[in-house]
Amino acid sequence: MPLQLSQKERMFLQDLSHHEQLCVQKYNKYANEAQEPQLKQLFQTHSSHEQQHYNTINQLLNGQAPSMSQGQQGNNQQQQASMPAGQGMQAQAGGAFNQNDAQLANDMLSTEKYISSTYDTAIFEFQDTNVRQALNHIQSEEQKHGEDLFNYMKSHGMYNVQ
């Protein structure tokens, strides 16, 4: 049975689709611009996750009910394994870092904060439990992206926690 969306739900999904498309574009662009190989890889990995989010949102817009399949759950586990805390994240000599890389990482961290909060609001506006679960799953991945970026920045002296 096709998913029946209210006008408000459809508008939320259209916004989320646009946000996810923008994230894919930014992560791809920044992966090409980043100098440090680990940051490039982080951006590439997150880009593929954002593409999955974009595809899921567009499935919902097309009236297809989400299914939290083993594949999606496996992607989350794979994502968590993609950036183990502290592994290979030593600060460069003398704490120096590439300013451009720092700006790219900071911009993506800000973007992830915004996207996560957008999902937080959207989740409460949907009637269908399966849709809410799908959006919650995506939001959890967005928060993990933010954590990965924060950990990268902190370990490279780009984010000073006082």
CATH for 127: 1.20.1260.10
Q: How many domains does the chain have?
A: 1
Tokens at 152, concatenated: 């990268």
Q: Which domain holds residue 39?
A: 7-64+96-155
DSSP letter for 3, please: P
Whether residue 91 lies inside any domain: the answer is no
The pLDDT of residue 25: 98
The pLDDT of residue 95: 55
Whether residue 22 lies inside any domain: the answer is yes
Whether residue 82 lies inside any domain: the answer is no
Angle ∠(86,89,91) on CA atoms, nearest 5: 125
Whether residue 137 lies inside any domain: the answer is yes
Note down pLDDT in tens along the chain; length 162 residues: 789 999 999 999 999 999 999 999 999 999 999 999 999 999 999 999 999 999 999 999 999 987 665 344 444 444 443 444 333 334 444 456 899 999 999 999 999 999 999 999 999 999 999 999 999 999 999 999 999 999 999 999 998 877
